[in-house]
Amino acid sequence: MWGLLFSPGSVWRIAGGSSGNDPLAPAAPVLTWDTDGTDNTPTFTADFDDTLVWSAGEIDGSNYDVIHLEWDTDSGFGSVDSDSNTLDAAEILAGEVAFTTGTLADGTWYARCRHEHVVAGVSHFSPWSNTVSQTIATDANALLRTDDSYILRTDGSSRITRAA
């Protein structure tokens, strides 16, 4: 729902709506999980294409871009850990930024990100990126329960057994 707000100085602002209707909202970034499941401090790359980003001389405390990363063991992202990176001129030029999380426990993890474009102190958010997932298994002798209720050895053996 859209509405008009009155602000001091007789300037009208439009409020409400969604990122799909916000002409200043950037497109959703594309997220990749760059490390394999034996690395419990994974690295991610967020690729973005924002034709509305600022040139290096225009980035300041009121005009900037941020990529926000969330990761969770819940694919619905009910209890996330997160990190963010305020983009510098080199990252804007490259169109990508890398993240590394802290140590993750063994199990299946999910991650997503989004791009925040701040203009004159007002945030404009992209839709969420694609969700990526990886099963972390740092113990070569660990047994993991998969979604279809099978136990899978991660020691390289081919033995798979049905969970009780």
- Asked if pLDDT for residue 6 goes beyond 80, the answer is no
The alpha-carbon radius of gyration of the chain (Å, integer) is 20
> What number of helices (H) and strands (E) belong to the chain?
1, 13
Which of 85, 89, 105 shows the shortest CA–CA distance to 45?
85
CATH code for 22-138? 2.60.40.10
Q: Say if residue 6 is exposed, middle or buried (CB neighbours under 10 Å; 0-12, 13-18, 19+).
A: exposed
Predicted TM-score (pTM) of this structure: 0.73
User: Could you say which DSSP state residue 79 is in?
Assistant: S
Band the pLDDT of 2: cuts 50, 70, 90. very low
Judge contact between 87 and 67, C-beta under 8 A: yes
Band the pLDDT of 18: cuts 50, 70, 90. very low
Band the pLDDT of 9: cuts 50, 70, 90. very low
Averaged pLDDT for residues 146-161: 51
For residues 148 and 133, what is the distance between their CA atoms, to the nearest angstrom? Answer: 16
**What are the CA-CA distances from residue 78 to residues 62, 82, 96, 111, 121 (Å)?**
31, 12, 26, 12, 28
Q: pLDDT digit string (tens) for 92-145? A: 888 999 999 999 999 999 999 999 999 889 999 999 999 999 999 987 665 555
Domain ranges of the chain: 22-138
What b/e string do you get for 89-106 counting C-beta neighbours within 10 Å, with b at 16 or more?
Answer: eebbeeebbebebeebeb
7 token code pair: 């602000």
Q: pLDDT digit string (tens) for 21-50? A: 888 889 999 999 999 999 999 999 999 986
3-state SS, residue 59:
coil
